[in-house]
């Protein structure tokens, strides 16, 4: 069985490499959400050529509409779901969208996070359909945008509309996990904080209200809270070990004003609070609001925009899907992976919340994702095609699946 999967995967080697490169060339930068339709059309044409049933979901969003694909293959009571995103973070330089191959590596924006994983997932479904039609299993999948900016118009939308989840006993997504299985994720509370001021000429500064200076006051209060937050550590295994701390990034984005000689009318900054599984999202929100309410009581005019919000989540490493994935990795790689906490937030949270055990495992490396020299190893992409295919087969054969 494994030999057959290896042979079929190898027969698709060049097509897999070409597909990864062609996807990288489609510049799906988010924000703002560029070329989404081109990417979805490209993927849809692939699925049509492979005769895999799917449909496109259109989410209007002004100048930058969003598009998702959902689909499925096969019949049977046993079901597994694959889920991936096609948006990428903005490139440092335009040349990142011109993929280059050096030995076993494909370089380019999205190569690791996570267009290579998306390709591996789809080719695994293709292999299942074309070469193992006798197996009684349902394989469903979803391809979404906006994972990099909070998921509101991607996965969140599909759940809110009742389109997801599809029938499955578990979900796998091909995030860049650096060889581990992520069966848990940190939570996230990401805010844009906006302060209102009173603009005047710099010569009459005393008549204005400077919201930038107010940010400095609030920032000092937040730094005190940050010291407490960083003292909280998770007991779960995480790589690197230093990522066991809870975190709060202040000022990932910030700005104010229109010119150097005008008191700003507004100022803003962001807070990105990452919450360990031992913490509580509601309590984390309350901690922040206590600080802001104190400053509001002193007369500051503050508004908030929620950019991302999600509770920590986890799935058992002993579920049938987890064990099928674990056995598949051992069979292909020769070594069992670790089950670990993702140091960031993951879309497994949407599935775990509804009791569907969800896991991330992909060909990329977290340590190079979002970086200037982002890359993926071709051998890892091919291995993941084998692993995802084998996971479906092990799932069929498992009496517990």
Residues 175 and 199 in one domain: no
CATH number at residue 7: 3.40.630.10
Residues 249 and 333 in one domain: no
Residues 39 and 160 in one domain: yes
Whose tokens are 């991936």? That residue is 84
Residues 37 and 158 in one domain: yes
Residues 292 and 367 in one domain: no
Residue 130 in tokens: 């074309």
Residues 224 and 349 in one domain: no
Q: Could you give the 3-state DSSP secondary structure of residue 193?
A: strand
Torsion of Cα atoms, 314 then 147 then 43 then 108, to 10°: -110
Whose tokens are 């949270």? That residue is 349
Number of domains in the chain: 2
Biggest distance spanned by C-alpha atoms of the chain: 81
pTM for the whole structure: 0.92
Residues 56 and 157 in one domain: yes
Phi-psi region of 245 (alpha: psi -120 to 50; beta: other; left: phi over 0): beta
Residues 146 and 119 in one domain: yes
Q: What is the pLDDT of residues 203-250, one digit of tens each?
A: 999 999 999 999 999 999 999 999 999 999 999 999 999 999 999 999
Q: Among 309, 338, 355, which residue terminates a domain? A: 309
Give percent of the chain with pLDDT exceeding 90. Answer: 93
Residues 155 and 219 in one domain: no
For the chain, what is the mean pLDDT? Answer: 96
d(CA 336, CA 329): 6
- Confidence label for 198 from pLDDT (cuts 50, 70 and 90): very high
Residues 197 and 238 in one domain: yes
pLDDT at residue 136, rounded to an integer: 86
- Mean pLDDT along residues 95-116: 98
- Confidence label for 133 from pLDDT (cuts 50, 70 and 90): confident
* pLDDT greater than 90 at residue 400: no
Domain that holds residue 303: 187-309
Give percent of the chain with pLDDT exceeding 70. Answer: 100
């Amino acid at each position: 069985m494994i030999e057959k999967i290896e042979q079929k995967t190898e027969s698709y080697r060049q097509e897999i490499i070409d597909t990864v490169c062609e996807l990288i060339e489609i510049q799906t930068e988010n924000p703002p959400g560029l070329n989404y339709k081109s990417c979805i059309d490209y993927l849809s044409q692939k699925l049509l050529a492979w005769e895999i049933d799917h449909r496109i979901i259109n989410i209007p969003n002004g100048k930058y509409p969003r598009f998702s694909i959902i689909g499925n293959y096969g019949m049977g009571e046993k079901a597994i779901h694959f889920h991936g995103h096609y948006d990428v973070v903005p490139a440092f330089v335009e040349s990142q969208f011109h993929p280059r191959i050096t030995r076993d590596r494909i370089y380019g924006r999205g190569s690791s996070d996570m267009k290579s994983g998306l390709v591996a997932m789809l080719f695994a479904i293709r292999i299942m359909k074309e070469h193992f039609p006798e197996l009684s299993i349902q394989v469903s999948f979803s391809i979404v945008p906006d994972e990099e900016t909070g998921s509101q118009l991607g996965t969140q939308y599909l759940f809110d509309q009742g389109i997801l989840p599809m029938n499955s006993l578990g979900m796998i997504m091909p995030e860049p996990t650096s060889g581990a299985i992520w069966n848990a994720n940190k939570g996230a509370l990401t805010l844009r904080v906006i302060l209102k001021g009173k603009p005047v000429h710099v010569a009459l500064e005393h008549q204005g209200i400077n919201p930038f200076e107010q940010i400095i006051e609030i920032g000092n209060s937040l730094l005190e809270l940050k010291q407490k937050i960083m003292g909280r550590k998770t007991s779960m295994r995480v790589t690197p070990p230093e990522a066991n701390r809870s975190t709060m990034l202040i000022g990932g984005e910030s700005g104010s004003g229109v010119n150097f000689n005008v008191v700003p009318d507004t100022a803003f900054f962001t807070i990105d609070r990452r919450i360990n599984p031992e913490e509580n999202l509601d309590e984390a929100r309350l901690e922040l609001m206590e600080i802001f309410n104190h400053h509001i009581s002193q007369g500051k005019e503050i508004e908030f925009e929620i950019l991302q919000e999600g509770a920590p989540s986890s799935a058992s490493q002993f579920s049938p899907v987890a064990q099928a994935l674990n056995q598949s990795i051992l069979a292909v790689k020769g070594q069992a992976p670790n089950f670990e906490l993702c140091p960031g937030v993951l879309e497994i949270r949407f599935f775990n919340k509804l009791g569907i055990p969800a896991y991330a495992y992909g060909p990329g490396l977290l340590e190079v994702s979002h970086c200037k020299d982002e890359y993926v190893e071709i051998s890892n992409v091919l291995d993941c095609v084998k692993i995802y295919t084998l996971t479906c087969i092990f799932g069929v054969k498992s009496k517990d699946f």
